[in-house]
Amino acid sequence: MSRVYNFSAGPSMLPESVLSRAAEEMLDCNGTGQSVLEMSHRSKAFEPIIYGAMEKFRKVMNIPDNYKIIFCQGGASTQFSAIPLNFMNGSNKADYVLSGQFSTKAYKEACKYGDVKAVASSKEQNFSCIPELDKSEFRPDADYFYICQNNTIYGTRFATLPDTGNVPLVADVSSCFLSEPMDVSKYGVIYGGAQKNVAPAGLTVVIVREDLLGHERDITPVMLNLKTLADNDSMYNTPPCYPIYICGLVLDWIESIGGLEAMKARNEKKAGILYDFIDSSNMFNNPVKKSDRSMMNVTFVTESDELNAKFVKEAADAGFVNLKGHRSVGGMRASIYNAMPIEGVEKLVDFMGKFEKNN
């Protein structure tokens, strides 16, 4: 059976060259005579895998020396609790922008631990845009300011970062990690689940400015204590070894195609092809404010649920899978993460044109 074009929002497709190399090394990784799946995380064989992945991350993202890279478990959603426990520890205040389902979940979780303010929300617009920000609503004594930088479900993103002054910016970047260059120094904390652009599900990457560590609440569970994890090189307990290994291979692949500048150009081209077609279509429509459109997750609908369902089924039959939109919004969603080739988007657009003509 030939491989399909997988537009899943996550877990999502991985580069074929990464999968091929992982297959080749499944039984014998780096001449050790064992699979990564069998290695002790305390062994000499695993050291170059985990430390190599950390250094590759630092190089590819140009991460300053005063930031720690932490490999965690529990998915990005676990950080909804870890962030307030570790960082809402001065004024006991935090400001959140509600731009979608995941930032709303993070906000509700943080409310358990202190004075949390929703400084802006686009809920009334069905999260079809990034909410307008009024800087007078930002609290200068907040311990941090929180955003979800790309909204997987609704297909929106922050095109520009909010100016938070001296308040550390915390960003969930799960669905835009490694898609383009980032100025890490503008953030206090960056985190994201790996299952979109980085590695298989099971790994969460946290990048945190060192001076923010070490102020966690005394009730913080040890496995949510980011300083403990950082001090133990992400190996306080057994880390997600195989996803870390794949992460290293993905970072090698990104370097091989020219780094994040080249990745950004590639992603902009893919998104442009798809949005240009939708904007010219008489059948398909994108509900997102143009200035806030995601480069990773493209949502679109037809005039009826019946036609949406027909499109999803016929697309799957033609080899374009996982195009059904999130259950909370319906319609369709094409997640065109790093590993999706330009050819996949071109072929999808060709199929959409034929479907429109036939219906």
How confident is the model at residue 22, as a pLDDT?
A: 98
Give dist(CA 306, CA 17) in Å, integer: 38
Q: How confident is the model at residue 329 (pLDDT cuts 50, 70, 90)?
A: confident
The CATH number assigned to the domain holding 91 equals 3.40.640.10
Tell me: the pLDDT tens digits for 178-189?
A: 999 999 999 999
Taking CA atoms, 221 is separated from 25, 238, 296, 314, in Å, by: 36, 16, 34, 48
Give me the pLDDT at residue 327, please.
85
Query: Rg of the chain over CA atoms, in angstroms?
Result: 21
Residue 62 lies in a domain: yes
Angle between helices 241-256 and 259-280 (to 10 degrees): 80
Q: How far apart (Å, rounded) are the C-alpha atoms in residues 42 and 240?
A: 13
- Answer yes or no: do 178 and 117 share one domain: yes
Last residue of a domain, one of 222, 237, 256: 256
User: What does the pLDDT average to over 9-31?
Assistant: 96
Contacts of 31 by beta carbon, 8 Å cutoff, 6+ apart: none
Same domain flag for 176 and 266: no
Do 56 and 185 fall into the same domain?
yes
**271-303 tens-digit pLDDT:** 999 999 999 999 999 999 999 999 999 999 999
Asked if 285 and 230 sit in the same domain, the reply is: no
Model pLDDT, residue 145: 98
Question: Is residue 3 predicted with pLDDT exceeding 70?
Answer: yes
Q: Is the Cβ–Cβ distance between 96 and 103 less than 8 Å?
A: yes
pLDDT of 108 over the 80 cut:
yes
Per DSSP bridges, beta strands 204-209 and 67-72 are antiparallel
pLDDT score, position 1: 65
The answer to whether residues 291 and 220 belong to one domain is: no
Q: What is the pLDDT of residue 118?
A: 98
Domain range for 279: 259-358
Assess whether 68 and 155 both reside in one domain: yes
Count: domains in the chain: 2
- When pLDDT is averaged across residues 34-44 and rounded to a whole number, the result is 96
Q: Which of 217, 195, 215 is nearest to 205 (CA)?
A: 195
The reply to whether 180 and 85 lie within a common domain is: yes
Residue 13 lies in a domain: no
In-domain check, residue 1: no
Domain-embedded: residue 5: no
Helix segments in the chain, DSSP class H = 16-24, 47-61, 75-87, 101-110, 226-231, 241-256, 259-280, 305-317, 342-358
Summarize the confidence of residues 157-177 as an average pLDDT.
97
Domain end call among 256, 290, 306: 256
Say if residue 98 is in the same domain as residue 51.
yes
Q: Please write the tens of the pLDDT for every residue from 235-250.
A: 999 999 999 999 999 9
Q: CATH code at 265?
A: 3.90.1150.10
Residues 6 or more apart whose CB falls under 8 angstroms from that of 197 comprise 12, 175, 176, 177, 178, 179, 250, 296, 337, 338, 339
Quick one: 123 and 232 in the same domain? yes
Same domain, 263 and 208: no
User: Do 197 and 297 share a structural domain?
Assistant: no
- 252 and 279 belong to one structural domain: no
Mean pLDDT, the chain, whole residue set:
97
